[in-house]
Amino acid sequence: MRYHGREVDVEGRMRLVMESTLTARDRVGVQDFVLLEKYNSEAAFIENLRRRFGENLVYTYIGSVLVSVNPYKELEMYSKQQMERYRGVSFYEISPHIYALADNTYRAMRTERKDQCIMISGESGAGKTEASKKILLYFAVTCPINEHMATLGDCLLQSNPVLEAFGNAKTFRNDNSSRFGKYMDVQFDFRGAPVGGHILNYLLEKSRVVHQNQGERNFHIFYQLLEGGDDDLLTTLALERNPQSYNYLVKGNCPRLSSVSDKKNWKVVMKALSVVGFTEEEVQKLLDIIASVLHLGNIQFGEGEEGETYITTETQMTNLAKLLGVDVSALGEALTHKKLTAKGEEMISALNFEQAMSTRDALAKAVYRRTFNWLVEKINQSLALKEEIYHSGKGCTVIGLLDIYGFEVLQHNSFEQFCINYCNEKLQQLFIELTLRSEQEEYETEGIAWETVQYFDNKIICDLIEEKHKGIISILDEECLRPGETCDVSLLEKLEDTLGGHPHFVTHKLANGKTRRIMSREEFRLLHYAGEVNYNVDGFLDKNNDLLNRNLKEVMCQSDNQILSHCFRRKEVADHRRPEMAATHFKNSLMKLMEILKSKEPSYVRCIKPNDAKQPGRFDEVLVRHQVKYLGLMENLRVRRAGFAYRRRFEAFLQRYKPLCPETWPNWHGGLADGVSTLVNHLGYNAEEYKLGRSKIFIRFPKTLFRTEDALEAKRPEIALTLQTSWRGYRERAKFQRIRRAVITIQSAWRGMKARRRAKRRRQAAELIRKLIKGFIYRHEEYCPENEYFLDHVRCSFLKNLRKNLPKSVLDRNWPTPPPSLVETSEHLQRLHRTNMVTKYCRRVQPEWKKQMMQKVIASEIFKDQKDSYPQGVGRLFLDSRLEREQINLKVVQTLGNDKVQYGVSVVKYDRRGFKPRARQLLLTNTFAVLIDRTKIKQRVDYAALRGISVSSLSDGMFVLHMPNEDNKQKGDVVLHCNHVIELVTKLAMMASKVNCVNISPGSIRFLLARGKEGIIDFVRGPELKVSKGKRGHLLVIAPQTNVT
């Protein structure tokens, strides 16, 4: 396999590629110093820090140690979403963060059920307290909540502002510098919910109460009270609002801070006090004490003639005594006199001016320190486990948070710096011990030969300081206790005597020429693991003695301020044994702390301050190098890198890099160790590059890992493609399967329904058939259950059939044959239907048509079955007239006058004698008919006089109008022929009301001639119409045969 990796830049420029960054946001430098190729190079180390800091990546790991650079600005990386992001995620999977450390610690506590501690160190202003607050907040937000302890989270969080108000101050380095060391335990129940807490505090810098360096301030609470307290409160406390009025607040010449609002914080603190559980009375007493310290600072002394001192500020004294709750004169006495016990006798001696001043200051410091201790105690009471079940300690695990001052080197280093740096030596020792121990344990469990790690063990320095009888602290104590004149210089001499020759101890006298030049005579130098520090012995004895005059203590324990009477116990006064010296006390409490820390699994946060100006974006390399050195970070790295740069559990390693080897991709089915060894063989690792433990692979050089990473990076698109295609395939397949399942479901449901329907229909059909057959069998019985369906069906189908086949016309006589049971009904229906049809028909008939019909009815009455030409004649339309208006001569019309012509037709008249045919018009009026020969009316026939009308039964058009015969003047009957004989005769008969007088003769018609004589017309059937004279003077009419159907 070929690698396309970039080479490691020799000049400390970090590679852009490293394992954990691949998934993380940041690709600047290395996220873990362990992966730094030149791990011995401080320059490379600092360059990595600088580059990351430039990109606001303030966190970097050294293995499991978190290095944090103070950004001095709000970063958007502490939100709740971010907390969620880090929750339950493996330490190395995501960019370094304080939350990752917190989460990891929390999970280790839960899964291994082992107490944990997080040690935060760094110099003042490096961000220790902020880090501890972030960790606490992370727990408060992400841990489950125990319903009984819902307020505990608040208490834990709110204890901070209280402690900060009383224990923090603005210093040269940090506007909110913690002036005490803090170790805080958070207790969790078996479900991982926080249920209690406990705080241990170390070495409050009480000298600050009475003195501050230029530009620094006293503890915040004094300024907060003066700024934020309302007028009433200040009056009660006899205070003025101006900090300049108080000697203890003016030393540093810095009453206000731009970055901190005392007024706002006052409110925060007051609220926090109540959340944490301070009663109003307690708060009042607390403020009395704070005010009393201010007043104490303003107490002034005068010097009498005999060197005795007296108090010059009476009002201050009264206020002070009132606030402290003590007797004013007793207090005044105690501030100016000292009680000595010599040879069992008590003696009072007056203090000189300086002594009185320092007694005053000592009281202020003692009061403040003890009050601070009381405060911590009080907070502990509210944080304490309340539930009985937890008291046993069973089921309860602890995460400790140590926020302690880092290594401190000032221009002028005194007792405090000595203690602080001693503390750091101890912590470094613990670190080495624990790291090496865990390293060694890991090698052992993994079955890898232990290789000696080259590192500096600072035990020698710890011993130098703390060893019994021989250590600096012992000598210091001894010197304090030694009777006779003791002074700081004699201490130095003693130290020189005892420790001279120790490789880590130098004084002016012991030093070589070069060192001597830069050391003053009052100094001794310790070569700490982090560097050299010169301590000035001035004040060492006093500070270590830390004595408060007995008579002052006596006064204080009479106080009616409960807090003070709690802080100054009578027992203490009664106890004549010497109390523990400050250094010894500190040493002992450190020992205890070490025990506590050793019993827990440690994690480390190392804080670094990027510049002294508290400015964002500025990276002062000199300053950082200094801190990297003092924090022992290079040591850290060396120890961590002593053997192998990188180690990971087999499964994690295989999981990550398996795409790089065909045998392990996509899945390795054999044992993990075999898988890893197949993989590394394929990758071509040399034997010295790696070792396989029992469950982990150890890679010696970062470059090996980087090479592998680069290969993975190059492989990534391919993997992505594979993943993409298989994911798409999977998704589509799943979709297809889903659709298919749905289709099948729908199909089967539909088929089922169809089948059920069919079965139902079949069942119904069978039932029906059965019923019909049964009904058929019983059809002749009475209507009974057996045949009811059949009969109903027959009826129903008859009616249905009838409805479809009703006769359409009146003439249609067809009618379906009804079943027996419906005969009567059927008849009714038939009648009804006919009536209905007739009615409808009649309604439809127009007047014209009615007239026509009436004429036809008459025609039928007259001719039906009587005359051959009837069927033909009746079939034709009867016209209103066969003559057009203009065919009738105008003269005729005029002659007729009022008698309107109703009907006119051309006829042939046969003379009575000789039967000569003559063309005439026959006109009918309402009362008579006339025969017209062109313009002349030839004959008028009154209807009233008309005797009858005769026609033959054949198809001819002959007809005879029978005229009255009694009148001889008449010319006789009129013989006429008309082509429309049926029509004409019908009309005439109707008009003349002679319907009954139409006579149809079959063979011949007799008619009258003039004067009573008779003529005869004979009718025979022949081929065609012919009218001719026949035998015996008869008229012979041959009528054609008509096809009567």
By C-beta, is 216 or 538 nearer to ligand ADP? 216
Residue 174 touches ligand ADP, criterion: CB under 6 A: yes
Task: Please check whether residue 398 is in contact with residue 600, taking contact to mean a CB–CB distance below 8 angstroms.
Answer: yes
The residue from 406, 775, 904, 1015 that is catalytic is 406
Q: Residue 126, annotated ligand binder?
A: yes
693 binds, among ligand ADP, Mg ion, none (CB under 5 to 8 A by kind): none
Cα 1045 to Cα 1037: distance, rounded to the nearest angstrom: 23
Does 344 qualify as catalytic in the annotation? no
Is 408 assigned a catalytic role? yes
Q: Which residues contact 643 (CB under 8 A, 6 or more apart)?
A: 439, 443, 448, 451, 453, 698, 700
Residue 100 contacts ligand ADP per CB under 6 A: no
Tokens at 300, concatenated: 């002034």
d(CA 957, CA 869): 9
- Whether 88 sits among the annotated catalytic residues: the reply is no
Does 96 interact with ligand ADP (rule: CB under 6 A)? Answer: no
Q: How many CA atoms lie within 13 A of 771 on its CB side?
A: 15
- Compute the distance between CA of residue 472 and CA of residue 466 in angstroms, rounded to an integer: 6
Nearer to ligand ADP by Cβ, of 473 and 605: the residue is 605
Q: Which residues contact 247 (CB under 8 A, 6 or more apart)?
A: 297, 298
3-class SS of residue 4: coil
Q: Looking at 205, 408, 439, 523, which residue is catalytic?
A: 408
The token pair at 322 is 């009132």
Judged by DSSP in three states, 118 sits in strand
Per partner kind, with CB cut-offs from 5 to 8 A, the member of ligand ADP, Mg ion, none near residue 176 is ligand ADP
The verdict on whether 177 is a catalytic residue reads: yes
Q: 122 a known binding residue? A: yes
The residue assigned the tokens 């990027």 is 610
Q: Which of 105, 121, 129, 544 is catalytic?
A: 129
Rounded distance, CA 415 to CA 425, Å? 15
Instruction: State the DSSP string of 145-181.
Output: --GGGTTHHHHHHHHHHHHHHHHEE--SS-TTEE-SE
* Site for Mg ion contains 424 (CB under 5 A): no
Q: Does 129 bind Mg ion (CB under 5 A)?
A: yes
The least CB distance from residue 128 to Mg ion, in Å, is 5
Determine whether 178 is an active site residue: yes
CB of 173 to Mg ion, least distance (A): 10
Among 3, 38, 42, 72, which residue sits at the site for ligand ADP (rule: CB under 6 A)? 72
Least spacing, CB of residue 264 vs ligand ADP, in Å: 15
Interaction residues for ligand ADP, span 603-622 (CB under 6 A): 607
Q: Determine whether 747 is exposed, middle or buried from the number of CB atoms within 10 Å of its CB (0-12, 13-18, 19+).
A: exposed
* Residue 177 or 869 having the CB closest to ligand ADP: 177
For position 68 contacting Mg ion by CB under 5 A, the verdict is no
Give the Cα separation of 58 and 322 in Å (integer).
51
Q: Is 408 in the site for ligand ADP (CB under 6 A)?
A: no
Q: Is 420 in the site for ligand ADP (CB under 6 A)?
A: no
The 3-state DSSP class for residue 275 equals helix
Options 169-177, 378-386, 831-839, 941-949: segment touching ligand ADP (CB under 6 A): 169-177
Scanning 171-179, 585-593, 840-848, 930-938 for contacts with Mg ion by CB under 5 A, the matching segment is 171-179
What are the C-alpha distances in Å from 243 to residues 249, 299, 367, 471? 6, 16, 20, 43
Choose the one of Mg ion, ligand ADP, none that binds residue 125, judging by a C-beta under 5 to 8 angstroms depending on kind.
ligand ADP
What is the nearest approach in angstroms of ligand ADP to the Cβ of residue 562? 32
**129 assigned binding-site residue:** yes
Cα separations (Å) of 377 from 117, 278, 374, 754?
Answer: 21, 12, 5, 84
Cβ atoms 379, 162 nearer than 8 A: yes
Binds 126: which of Mg ion, ligand ADP, none (CB < 5-8 Å by kind): ligand ADP
Q: Is 127 annotated as a binding residue?
A: yes
Which residues on adjacent β-strands are paired with residue 932?
921, 937
- Report, in Å, the least distance between residue 170 CB and ligand ADP: 10
Number of chain residues interacting with Mg ion (CB under 5 A): 3
Site size for ligand ADP (CB under 6 A): 20
How many residues are there in the chain? 1045
Residue range at the interface with ligand ADP (CB under 6 A); choices 42-50, 67-75, 140-148, 652-660: 67-75
Across 578-602, b (16+ Cβ under 10 Å) vs e yields: eeebbbbebbebbeebbebbeebbb
- Judged by CB under 6 A, the residue of 129, 265, 380, 939 near ligand ADP is 129
Q: Which is nearer to ligand ADP, 98 or 186 (CB)?
A: 98
Task: Answer yes or no: is 471 a known binding residue.
Answer: no
Q: What secondary structure letter does DSSP report for 621? A: H
Q: Is 56 a catalytic residue?
A: no
x/- map, 78-117, Mg ion, by CB under 5 A = ----------------------------------------
> Sheet of 116-122: strands edge to edge?
59-62, 65-69, 601-608, 116-122, 397-403, 181-188, 194-202
Ligand-binding annotation for 808, yes or no, is: no
Per CB under 5 A, which of residues 176..195 are in contact with Mg ion?
A: 178
Residue 858: CA count within 13 A, CB half-sphere: 23
Interface segment toward ligand ADP; rule CB under 6 A; list 117-125, 351-359, 518-526, 796-804: 117-125
Residue 607, binding choice from Mg ion, ligand ADP, none, Cβ under 5 to 8 Å by partner class? ligand ADP
Told to check if 124 binds ligand ADP by CB under 6 A, we report yes
Give the strand pairing for 696-699 and 690-692: antiparallel
Does position 71 interact with ligand ADP (CB under 6 A)? The reply is yes
Q: Counting contacts by CB under 6 A, is residue 56 touching ligand ADP?
A: no
**Using the rule CB under 6 A, which residue among 142, 146, 178, 397 binds ligand ADP?**
178
Known binding-site residues for ATP equal: 122-129
Binding site for ligand ADP (CB under 6 A): 70-75, 122, 124-130, 174-178, 607
> What amino acid positions are annotated as catalytic residues?
124-125, 129, 174, 177-178, 406, 408
Binding site for Mg ion (CB under 5 A): 128-129, 178
